[in-house]
């Protein structure tokens, strides 16, 4: 899977950290989904490729909004991320931790056929 990159129009203006996020791919009613449980974001489309492209747009909008509103780190903490120091600034929660609090993830794991992939995403170290 290609690294998620923001559009050229939007720049962080600072240091970034590449974090590998788990993406779950599944199909339901002939619609393909790409779900990132650690950010609770979903892309979808008629094909896996469309779902992946949709996920990039959703991720871009999530980052834009949370950074512009100055709530990026608050939102990550709300989603269960461990925000530490400059050497290890942030770690996403494990899937095993999220399954107990995320009903969508629990449903995917318990009732759907899915595949997983690591999705390298550049996140700002400070926002």
Q: What does the pLDDT look like over 6-34, one tens digit per residue? A: 333 344 556 788 899 999 999 999 999 99
pLDDT of residue 76: 94
Environment class of 42 (CB within 10 Å of its CB; exposed 0-12, middle 13-18, buried 19+)? middle
Residue-wise pLDDT tens digits, 51-89: 999 999 999 999 999 999 999 989 999 999 998 765 567
pTM of the predicted protein model: 0.84
Query: CATH code for 16-122?
Result: 3.30.160
Q: Under 8 Å CB-to-CB from 26, ≥6 apart: which residues?
A: 32, 33, 35, 108, 112, 113, 114, 115
Tracing tokens 């996140």 back to the chain, one arrives at 123
């Amino acid at each position: 899977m290609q690294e998620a990159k923001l559009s050229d129009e939007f720049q962080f203006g600072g240091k970034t950290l590449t974090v590998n996020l788990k993406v779950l791919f599944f199909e339901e009613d002939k619609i393909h989904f790409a779900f990132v449980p650690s950010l609770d974001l979903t892309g979808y489309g008629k094909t896996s490729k469309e779902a992946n492209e949709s996920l990039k747009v959703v991720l871009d909008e999530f980052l834009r909004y949370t950074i512009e509103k100055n709530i990026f780190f608050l939102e990550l903490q709300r989603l269960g991320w461990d925000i530490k120091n400059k050497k290890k600034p942030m770690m996403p929660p494990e899937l095993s931790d999220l399954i107990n609090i995320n009903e969508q993830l629990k449903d995917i794991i318990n009732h759907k056929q899915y595949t997983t992939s690591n999705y390298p995403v550049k996140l700002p170290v400070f926002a």
